[in-house]
Amino acid sequence: MLALPLVLLLMAPLALHAQTSATITSGNGEGTYTIEFLGVVDNGNGTYTWSYRVTEVSGKNLSHWTLGLCMDLAKVFAYTPDASDSGIESIDFGTDSGGTFITGIKWNVEDDFDNDGDEDDDERVFTFTLNMAFDVGPVPVGTKTGGKGDKSGTGSINGPVCTT
């Protein structure tokens, strides 16, 4: 009889880390995007690379997406793609004033951000590397279509969480 409660107690923390995907619709319903947490890799040298796949599901092209980061943003010392890569306009660190108001890393993308020659149904993997380990847990994530007005949406996905 004691085994069942023990199993439930052991499984409860796993549920907190099960946010491997977030499908976000912009605030006005003009675009839907899926963000997938692909995992975090210990690079063996004190650095850790976090990976996400971003997919346009329907509607307008993605303008940018932002992943919430709780740590000093100087701990992010590498990321791909970067602004020199085709399909990427720029990368910003700080609070996204363009609609999601999430503090973290923001990739501003072009209409054809996967460079397949078609502006629709884009999909691309985005990574960033931190110079220390963080637990995996829920962090905010946001997307925005192009244009003025409420074109953003937010959700939650696995990412690096800070413990106090």
Residue 163 pLDDT exceeds 90: no
**Over the stretch 5-57, which tens digit does the pLDDT of each residue have?**
333 333 334 344 569 999 999 878 889 999 999 999 999 999 999 999 999 99
Write the single-letter amino acid at 120.
D
Lowest mean pLDDT among 30-39, 122-131, 140-149: 140-149
How do residues 47-90 score in pLDDT, each as one tens digit?
Answer: 999 999 999 999 999 999 999 999 999 999 999 999 999 999 99
Do residues 77 and 56 touch, judged by C-beta distance below 8 A? no
pLDDT at 97: 87
Burial class (CB in 10 A: 0-12, 13-18, 19+), 17: middle
Q: What is the pTM of this model?
A: 0.87
> Range with the lowest mean pLDDT among 7-16, 35-44, 110-119, 153-162?
7-16
Strand, coil or helix: what is 31? Answer: strand
Distance CA 122, CA 33 (A): 10
Per-residue b or e along 24-44, where b marks 16 or more CB atoms closer than 10 Å to that residue's CB: bbbbeebbbbbbbbeebeeee
Catalogue all structural domains in the chain, each as residue range(s) with its CATH number: 21-149 (2.60.40)
